[in-house]
Amino acid sequence: MHTAFAAALTVEVRKFAASRVVRTATVLVVLGIAVLTGSMTAAAEAGNEEILAQLGAFADAEGWDRLAGVAAQITGAGGLLGFGVVLAWAVGREFAEGTVSGLFALPVSRATVMAAKLTTFAVWTAGVAVALVTVLAVTGVVAGNGAPDAEAFAGLGRLLALVVFSGLLAAPAAWAATLGRGLLPGIATSIGTVVVAQVMVVSGTGAWFPVAAPSLWAMRPGDVSAVQLALALLVPLISGLLAMRAWSRLQLDR
Amino acid sequence: MSELRLQTRNLTRAFPGGAGVHGVDLDVTAGQIHALVGLNGAGKTTLMRLLLGMLRPDSGAVRLGGCALGEAGAATWARVGHLVGHPLAYPELDAESNLTVAARMRGVPRPRIPAMVARALAELDLEQYARVRTRVLSSGNRQRLGVAGALQHDPDLVVLDEPTNALDPAGVLLVREALLRRAHAGAGVLVSSHHLDEVARIAHRITVVNRGRTIGTLDPEGVEIERAFFALVHADDERRKGCTQPSRPR
């Protein structure tokens, strides 16, 4: 690994690991989604009409299928928002706390610092995905769904991918936090992304909207093509490159 | 002649409304503590930001050692230490971790870092806070930490903006001594201050900045240095007032 990137990555991992914001977000995303999924599934089992109406196509599903579907519905919006807040913090804090001036005039370039931030964030996202799916698997067994069969594993696997996708789709928050020199522009961007994705899903064009495609795929894999899913990867790729470019050209002029 | 650590020529960056720095020539040589003094808003921080690439100049040039600023690579930046604005002190990390982070970002080889950090903690009298999260430190101790992070790798060029801000008298003494040690070891030190006393006791050269321009020098050994400072600033203000007043109709 390149020395400068290794140094920046070590530093970012250290900051992430020590952060209360990241710790709190980990608990909220993992336990929050698990508790919401568990309680909505239990309410649906009990025949709660309002919850069944919210579940749409999953109202008639049962067992692991319903659990994974409900979790995907919640993760598509809640996960993206949670990840967006963390990424907005990781970038925006340097401006809000004034530490950004210490990231100039170093052997490690600012673009490398941003690359290290994005890498650390992506690795954390993968860890959250594993933790969330593990907790949901335990929840499913405890709820009496029995040992997961191949179909259930496939559903949980798609859920794992969805959580990772949700993290990657939060990448525009890094660019927005840089352009806006703080946390709030990044958080606002994540909220806006979730709202637009929901509107696209409701309007029926979600599969071609990269931010909505992974969520639809996790719930109804047959409705989303590989190309539509792959398009979702363009969001982190383009916004990650834009964020690195913005850090490379950064000036402390406002 | 001593080796030049830093040089600017005709350095200019103008902000809307006329603020900024205008045509600044500045030299910092090896072994020299060069102080920039000026009133609040005189342009000291803007000048330092230009020197460190935090702002891009409209015109003029900066040279670090033998390199133009735009061509300075990792090896050049590894030999610079700076504190301009807030200290690089993350609240969730303790003092020792923050110094370790600063050393890593300066490209210090990993095996050298623990001893270097221990020395830096001792030099700024921060040992008791080594394992204390920076979040709970006073602003003065955070400032000491920032200075320690800028100096610990014994850079060839040190750029510090108001390093004694928020420091108690003991902290001021420690920073002065640390800067003198670096200068004796051959570093070029550029330090800004609005406290004439503090600067005068350690600087080899004092340049006065007013309204974005360097307007003269003060003799660090001179008596009544404060009076000399205000005389320079007043004369400059009067000169400019004369330039900007419309001429009377004849």
Contact A105 B86 (CB under 8 A): no
Letter string b/e over residues A44-71, b meaning 16 or more CB atoms within 10 A of that residue's CB: beeeeeebbeebeebeebebbebbbbbb
Q: Kindly state the DSSP code that residue A107 receives in the 8-state scheme.
A: S
What type of residue is A195?
V
Q: Kindly state the DSSP code that residue A99 receives in the 8-state scheme.
A: G
Cα-based angle B9, B15, B19 (whole degrees, multiple of 5): 80
Count, residues in chain B? 250
Question: Lowest-confidence range among A68-77, A86-95, A119-128, B50-59?
Answer: A68-77
Task: Check residue B243 and give its pLDDT.
Answer: 72
Chain B contacts of A10, Cβ < 8 Å? 104
Q: What is the pLDDT of residues A189-229, one digit of tens each?
A: 999 999 988 888 777 777 888 888 998 898 888 889 999 99
Task: Check residue B250 and give its pLDDT.
Answer: 46
Mean pLDDT of A177-192: 96
**Closest Cα in chain B, distance from residue A239 (Å):** 23
Chain A contacts of B96, Cβ < 8 Å? none
Task: Check residue A107 and give its pLDDT.
Answer: 97
Mean pLDDT of A157-165: 95
pLDDT above 70 (res A1): no
pTM of the model: 0.93
CA dihedral A236, A239, A243, A246 (to 10 degrees): 160
> pLDDT band at residue A131, thresholds of 50, 70 and 90?
very high
CB within 8 Å of chain A, chain B residues 210-229: none
Beta strands B4-14 and B20-29: pairing type? Answer: antiparallel
Distance separating alpha carbons of residues A49 and A53, to the nearest angstrom: 6
Residue of B nearest to A13 (CA): B101
Helix axes A234-248, A172-179, angle to 10 degrees: 30
Task: Check residue B65 and give its pLDDT.
Answer: 86
Contact B80 A102 (CB under 8 A): no
All structural domains of chain B, each given as residue ranges with its CATH number in brackets, are 4-204 (3.40.50.300)
Whole-complex ipTM:
0.93
Mean pLDDT of A219-244: 93
| Burial class of B4 by CB neighbour count within 10 A (0 to 12, 13 to 18, 19+) | middle
Task: Check residue B171 and give its pLDDT.
Answer: 94
Q: Hey, how many other C-beta atoms are within 10 angstroms of the C-beta on A251?
A: 12
Chain A contacts of B75, Cβ < 8 Å? 107
Helix axes A150-168, A63-74, angle to 10 degrees: 0
Task: Check residue B244 and give its pLDDT.
Answer: 64
Closest among A123, A121, A114, A153 to A137, alpha carbons compared: A153
Residue of B nearest to A247 (CA): B54
Chain A contacts of B91, Cβ < 8 Å? 97
> pLDDT band at residue A47, thresholds of 50, 70 and 90?
confident
Q: Which long-range contacts (CB under 8 A, 24 or more apart) does B198-206 make?
A: B198/B164, B198/B172, B199/B35, B199/B37, B200/B35, B200/B225, B201/B176, B202/B33, B202/B35, B202/B176, B203/B33, B203/B34, B203/B35, B204/B32, B204/B33, B204/B34, B205/B32, B205/B33, B205/B34, B205/B35, B206/B34, B206/B35, B206/B37
| Burial class of B64 by CB neighbour count within 10 A (0 to 12, 13 to 18, 19+) | buried
Contact B56 A251 (CB under 8 A): yes
Closest among B182, B165, B167, B236 to B34, alpha carbons compared: B182
The total of structural domains in chain A comes to 1
Bridge partner list, B82: B159
Q: Hey, how many other C-beta atoms are within 10 angstroms of the C-beta on B176?
A: 18
DSSP secondary structure of chain B: -PPEEEEEEEEEEE-TTS-EEEEEEEEEETT-EEEEE--TTSSHHHHHHHHTTSS--SEEEEEETTEEGGG--HHHHTTEEEE-SS-S--TTSBHHHHHHHHHHHTT--GGGHHHHHHHHHHHTT-GGGTTSBGGGS-HHHHHHHHHHHHHTT--SEEEEESTTTT--HHHHHHHHHHHHHHHHTT-EEEEEES-HHHHHTT-SEEEEEETTEEEEEE-TT-SSHHHHHHHHHHHHHHHHHHHHSPPPP-
Residue of B nearest to A2 (CA): B107
Mean pLDDT of A65-83: 90
A128 part of a folded domain: yes
What type of residue is B147?
V
Letter string b/e over residues B152-172, b meaning 16 or more CB atoms within 10 A of that residue's CB: bbebbbbbbbbbbebbeeebb
Q: Are the C-beta atoms of residues A155 and A50 closer than 8 Å to each other?
A: no
Phi, psi (deg, nearest 5) at residue B166: 70, 0
Chain B contacts of A103, Cβ < 8 Å? 88, 105
CB within 8 Å of chain A, chain B residues 34-73: 49, 52-56, 73
A253 part of a folded domain: no
**Closest Cα in chain A, distance from residue B112 (Å):** 14
pLDDT in 10s for each residue of chain B, 250 residues? 579 999 999 999 999 888 999 999 999 999 999 999 999 999 999 999 999 999 999 999 999 988 999 899 999 999 999 999 999 999 999 999 999 999 999 999 999 999 999 999 999 999 999 999 999 999 999 999 999 999 999 999 999 999 998 899 999 999 999 999 999 999 999 999 877 777 777 899 999 999 999 999 999 888 888 899 999 999 999 988 877 665 555 4
Chain A contacts of B53, Cβ < 8 Å? 104-105
Query: Is B136 part of the contact surface with chain A (CB cutoff 8 Å)?
Result: no
A145 part of a folded domain: yes
CB within 8 Å of chain A, chain B residues 69-88: 73-75, 77-78, 80, 82-88
Quote the domain boundaries for residue A30: 3-248
Residue of A nearest to B97 (CA): A14
Distance separating alpha carbons of residues B144 and B147, to the nearest angstrom: 5
